[in-house]
Amino acid sequence: MVILSMPAVNEQFSSSIIKNCKSPSSFFPCIPLIDLSKPDTKNQLVKACEEFGFFKVVNHGVPMEFITKLESEAIKFFSSPLIQKEKAGPPDPFGYGSKKIGPNGDVGWVEYILLSTNPDFNYQKFASILGVNPQDIRDAVNDYVSEMKKMACEILEMLAEGLKIHPRNVFSKLLMDEQSDSLFRLNHYPPCPPDQEFNGRNLIGFGEHTDPQIISLLRSNNTSGLQISIVDGHWISVPPDQNSFFINVGDSLQVMTNGRFKSVKHRFLANSVKSRLSMIYFGGPPLSEKIGPLASLLMKGEQDSLYKEFTWFEYKKSAYKSRLADNRLVLFQKLV
């Protein structure tokens, strides 16, 4: 296996956002926290998407039983023999993958299942390896994904209101569309060999990248290692919290808001002690959807637009030709 390592993260920040942050702990500076049970969080949400492109959500209302059911099905799956798991691979793009991420040579200390959330997506491929009753994991994924879609739409509608855009479903309708090209991913990071972690260097579980879609909703067990970068070269560790969700803005939402919201760079560093299981819903538009800055967010019309218009199909095609760490949006930026 190819082992990648990175210098230990030294959390020294130069950004004014981070310096001004009144965090009790300088090691975990100020990840914005949103309480979804509070009536009016739209302005906080907008601020979090502008400054970080990332926030933590509590009081989300997702039934714990859906989370634990899926978690236990996923653990069952990842605990099965490799030869059995490999029957569900390779991910082309859907299925089981191990160590290889995407089609262009990226690797990480991770195994995963990548699924489409499209209702007609064929789970047949996995059925043979999903144990005595493949229906169990399928049902668990479906229940969980419908909760994620609901939460993602709720957040996107509050964001539209916070931005004073009409109608309020301008973003959420893309996820609600029957043809929405949304994905679901289960990532399992086994503890890495201890000799790969020594000397203050960490093994890359999932290398730095931005998510191409509109919005991503992540839930993990209590294993640390997730980091975000809002200033190039500086990483903020995100303390894990199995009872909360971590939300990030994707490239498409950055474009639709003409750069007002930031598609946040993130990565996961593995450790030798504890395995991590993460579940991520990536809310994406239909393939034919035109993505471009919303007219109501442009001051002087077209000339303000930072991006060329593209369809989600075009963006995806280009993304799948890129390496994980590439800036996929530069190809779609207008020259100034």
Ligand X SMILES: O=C(O)CCC(=O)C(=O)O
Ligand Y SMILES: C=C1C[C@]23C[C@@]1(O)CC[C@H]2[C@@]12CC[C@H](O)[C@@](C)(C(=O)O1)[C@H]2[C@@H]3C(=O)O
In the complex with ligand X, which residue's Cβ is closer, 145 or 165?
A: 145
From ligand Y, Fe ion, ligand X, none, which one binds at residue 27 (CB under 5 to 8 Å depending on kind)?
none
Of the residues 185, 219, 267, 276, which is catalytic? 276
- Name which position in 85, 168, 266, 316 contacts ligand X (CB under 6 A): 266
**Distance of alpha carbon 38 from alpha carbon 161, whole angstroms:** 15
- The reply to whether 101 sits near ligand Y by the rule CB under 6 A is yes
- Name which position in 27, 121, 198, 320 contacts ligand Y (CB under 6 A): 320
From ligand X, ligand Y, Fe ion, none, which one binds at residue 220 (CB under 5 to 8 Å depending on kind)?
ligand X
* Sheet strands side by side (includes 265-270): 5-6, 202-209, 265-270, 226-231, 234-237
- Name which position in 224, 242, 318, 322 contacts ligand Y (CB under 6 A): 322
- The reply to whether 175 sits near ligand X by the rule CB under 6 A is no
- The reply to whether 168 sits near ligand X by the rule CB under 6 A is no
Q: CA-based Rg of the chain, rounded to a whole angstrom?
A: 19
Task: Tell me the number of residues near ligand X by CB under 6 A.
Answer: 11
User: Dihedral of CA 190/116/216/231: which sign?
Assistant: positive
- The reply to whether 219 sits near ligand Y by the rule CB under 6 A is no
Instruction: Identify the residue whose tokens are 């290692």.
Output: 225
CB of 216 to Fe ion, least distance (A): 6
Active site residue 168: no
- CB crowding 63-101: b at 16 or more within 10 Å, else e: eeebbebbbebbeebbeeeeeebeebbebeebbbbbebb
Sort residue 75 into left (φ over 0), alpha (ψ -120 to 50) or beta.
Answer: alpha
- The reply to whether 206 sits near ligand X by the rule CB under 6 A is yes
- Asked whether 93 and 101 are in contact (CB, 8 A), the reply is no
Question: What residues are annotated to the active site?
Answer: 276
Q: In the complex, which residues of this chain contact ligand Y (CB under 6 A)?
A: 93, 101-102, 104, 106, 114, 183, 185, 209, 211-212, 282, 319-320, 322-324
